[in-house]
Amino acid sequence: MAGAKSSTTTMALALGLILMTLVGECYGQCSANFRVGYYEDKCGKVDAEALVFFVVKKYFNKDKDTVADLVRLQFHDCFVRGCDASLLLEGEDTEKTARPNQSVGGYEIVEEAKVALDKYCPGVVSCADIVVLAARAATFLGGAYWYEVETGRKDGNVSRATEATEGLPSPRLSIPDSVKFFQDRLYNYRGTEKPDPSMNPTLLPSLQEKCPRGALSSNEAFLDQTKGSEFVMDNGYYKRILEGKGILEVDQQLALHDLTRDIVINAAEDEKVFLAKIGPAMRKMGLIGVLTEGENRLNTCKKVR
């Protein structure tokens, strides 16, 4: 697994593998304009997805932490207001200023890709899509299998620090609370005793069936304590937490709790299990709260038009 500079990079992948299996299809404002290959022939002769990959690879060649930065960037964006690039907006009391986001990296990579794309097709490729495409590129460069992602997202224009503070899980989160974090969206969103209204109502029953209410269904340290694989997408992390070498409480609990121990064991015993699942997990994370109505930012991801 990729090395990490922060306390929540591992959660981006570990919880992604566990919780995102509950997300089967897109929910939010999804439509026929949200699909794999959406940007084909929309940017002249320029391949938008290839350009994003090129920019990410340039940074990756200089700093292998690029993998952890971009995976975590997608996680922190998608888990607050959905995958709408609201994390990238600058200003007073925006998500970027919230404490959980103080150590998030990779903003400059997304910004460079946005500026480059807007030279060829201004306002066509959204910042929200660039975040997901950049995370896909970083995951692949880190050693995972290539995976397809849907594109056609629009950019959000609301960003609140309080939502990031309240919405992102703590690194001390227990495994049952990690599941509850997801269950609250199904049954008691923000204390309303109702599901999250942004969730597609056709998806809700199947998720509730899979996850019944109340059921358990600045110094740096590498979260993967496997020497030589700190910047590689592999199963070394799972082997180490089985040995009691988890750096964070939530990491270690993954290997101990009945809800997740078998998943950890399977990933540790067969590296192909992890490599096969990380792509689909990242893709499913990118389906959270998708907007396909609205507009894309122009020339920058830091502010709306």
Please indicate whether residue 76 is annotated as part of the active site: yes
Q: What is the DSSP string of 225-289?
A: --TT-TBS-SSHHHHHHHTT--SSHHHHHHHHSTTTHHHHHHHHH-HHHHHHHHHHHHHHHTTTT
Task: Count the residues in the chain.
Answer: 305
Q: What is the DSSP string of 31-46?
A: -TT-EETTTTTSSTT-
Amino acid identity, residue 163? E
Residues β-bridged to residue 291: 29
Amino acid identity, residue 301? C
Extract the tokens encoding 206. 């199947």
Q: What is the DSSP letter of 6?
A: S
For residue 256, the Cα-to-chain-centroid distance in whole angstroms is 24
Question: Of 183, 172, 192, nearest to 215 (Cα)?
Answer: 183
Give CA–CA dist 189/181, Å, rounded: 10
> Exactly one of 64, 76, 154, 277 is catalytic; which is it?
76
Angle between helices 107-120 and 127-141 (to 10 degrees): 120
CA distances from 114 to 81, 100, 111, 182, 243 (A): 21, 24, 5, 32, 43
Active-site amino acid positions? 76
